[in-house]
């Protein structure tokens, strides 16, 4: 299915499908999960790599962070920082499959996991329960805005800005001044500009769609290596100091007059090795340490 068709499908669904019961638009405050603090934010350009897992929920019932009832048969997911809801492209580098999922919850609870997938989404991507898969994810900005449009937010429904009222304007042709001769001038008809009514109450808008289509693309397998990223610095000496403490290395990234320097450990042959390195960095007080793909 092409992107144009997907957008048309989303628009059609949004126009006629009611939102999930209780659903609302949420960003949220910083929170701790699995011993790691996360800082939610609106981000329609997010693109990252890491490990995906299948969510353990086997049945419907619990409420997600944005107020929906979790449905393991739907293409939904959990992310630690994205606005809820958001639509994300997930590419499994181990199987080559790619699908779109709607993020509606916080998680996964395990540190070092970039996204948690519903049972159905995991099945379509070839992610087995309890076995992390290497993935790349990217927000679809257009569909993300489409599924969020019309949902009430944590602060209440979004209101339309009222249009400024415009007064009635009348024009007429004046008679010629004394001594002047009229040259075939005819009175101009009065033109009236209608007054624009002020908007009141919530603006009418499309409703967010409940289900994304099960459209699986086959992109191919992509080789990748597991590494632990443990911070980015503008000063190389600070990056090198942390790298020495963790047994890693400092790498220059970016260009220009002031490149940045990131600290990395690995690559690691197995997920278990990467998890142990991540746990060591977290225990040393580096909360932004994470597993990424190289």
CB neighbourhood size of 1 (10 A): 12
Pick from 54-68, 70-84, 129-143: least confident: 54-68
Hey, what CATH topology would domain 225-294 get?
A: Alpha-Beta Plaits (3.30.70)
Residue 45 is predicted with a pLDDT of 97
Name which of 48, 68, 255, 40 is nearest 152 in CA terms. Answer: 68
Per-residue pLDDT for 160 more than 80?
no
Pick from 185-189, 235-239, 246-250: least confident: 185-189
Domains 1-151+206-221 and 225-294 belong to one CATH topology: no
Per-residue pLDDT for 243 more than 50?
yes
Tokens encoding 20: 């999930």
Separation of alpha carbons 161 and 14, rounded Å:
22
Write down the domain spans for the chain: 1-151+206-221, 225-294
Percent of the chain scoring above 70 in pLDDT: 73
Residue 211 is predicted with a pLDDT of 79
Separation of alpha carbons 83 and 128, rounded Å:
26
Separation of alpha carbons 244 and 242, rounded Å:
5
Separation of alpha carbons 141 and 6, rounded Å:
13
User: What superfamily in CATH does domain 1-151+206-221 come from?
Assistant: RlpA-like domain (2.40.40.10)
Residue 255 is predicted with a pLDDT of 77
Per-residue pLDDT for 165 more than 90?
no
Calculate the alpha carbon distances from 93 to 76, 82, 136, 294 in Å: 19, 22, 7, 12
Higher pLDDT, 43 or 259: 43
Calculate the alpha carbon distances from 169 to 41, 172, 193 in Å: 47, 10, 6
């Amino acid at each position: 299915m092409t992107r144009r068709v997907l957008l048309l499908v989303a628009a059609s669904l949004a126009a006629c499908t009611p939102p999930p019961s209780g659903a609302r638009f949420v960003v949220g405050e910083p929170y701790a999960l699995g011993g790691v603090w996360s800082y939610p934010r609106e981000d329609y350009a997010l693109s990252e790599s890491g490990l995906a897992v299948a969510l353990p929920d086997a049945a419907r019932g619990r409420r997600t962070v944005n107020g929906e009832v979790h449905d393991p048969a739907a293409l939904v997911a959990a992310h630690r920082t994205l606005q809820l809801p958001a639509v994300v492209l997930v590419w499994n580098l181990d199987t080559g499959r790619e699908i779109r999922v709607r993020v509606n919850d916080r998680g996964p609870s395990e540190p070092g996991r970039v996204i948690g997938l519903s049972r159905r989404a995991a099945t379509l991507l070839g992610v087995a329960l309890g076995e992390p898969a290497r993935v790349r994810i990217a927000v679809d900005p257009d569909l993300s805005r489409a599924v969020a449009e019309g949902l009430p937010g944590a602060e209440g429904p979004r209101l339309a800005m009222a249009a400024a009222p415009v007064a009635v304007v009348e024009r007429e042709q004046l008679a010629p001044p004394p001594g002047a001769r009229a040259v075939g001038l005819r009175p101009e008809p009065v033109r009236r500009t209608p007054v624009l009514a002020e908007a009141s109450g919530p603006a009418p808008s499309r409703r967010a769609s409940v289900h994304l289509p099960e459209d699986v693309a086959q992109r191919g397998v992509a080789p990748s290596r597991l590494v632990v990223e443990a911070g980015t610095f503008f000063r190389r000496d600070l990056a090198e100091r942390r790298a020495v403490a963790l047994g890693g290395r400092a790498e220059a990234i970016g260009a220009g007059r002031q490149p940045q320097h990131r600290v990395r450990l690995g690559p690691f042959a197995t997920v278990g090795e990467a998890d142990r390195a991540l746990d060591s960095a977290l225990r040393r007080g580096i909360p932004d340490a994470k597993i990424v793909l190289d």
